[in-house]
Amino acid sequence: MVDLDEANNYFGFYYEPMHEIEQGLYLGCMRAAECEELLRAHNIKYIVQALESQYTERFDWITYHFVEIWDNPYQDLAKHLPSALQFIHQHLSAGENVLVHCAAGISRSSSIVIAYLMGKHLIDFYQAFDRVSSKRSCVSPNFGFRKQLKDTGEQQLRTYLILP
């Protein structure tokens, strides 16, 4: 039997469009990226969008990085990681806030955030997954993305954080 607190924690992502994973790094769904009030309240000026097509609702005061990817285990996530992680790291290092989102904030965007934590902290997939899921309990990268992150490894991901 699941207790009420556990159920509320799991289903909380339906009510909370985004969660702060580490200082300045937010993970969320498309609803978060659509809400100007929410973005301004959290001083988010940089967004990584992991979607199958470019989202049309854009704010002129936001800088976007688009990752064109379907939530399909056979998609090549790894080819997008160098530019996505560098974008995230560049802006977090400058003290800016970054939102990484996909449609639901469960698989695509969580995979990118997990990859970032693996590289930044030199931790394995499981440790990074635990950190992310402790803040946003619904995260669940598809099996193909999980395999790619494990295969790439934290040492390689770390090289993507080197700023030009």
Contact (CB, 8 A) for 101 and 32: yes
The C-alpha angle 74, 75, 77, rounded to 5 degrees, equals 125
Among residues 29, 35, 102, 138, the one annotated as catalytic is: 102
Active site residue 138: no
Using DSSP's 3-state secondary structure scheme, residue 68 falls into: strand
Amino acid in the structure at residue 82? P
**DSSP sequence for 16-39:** -SEEEEETTEEEE-HHHHH-HHHH
| Residues designated as active site | 102
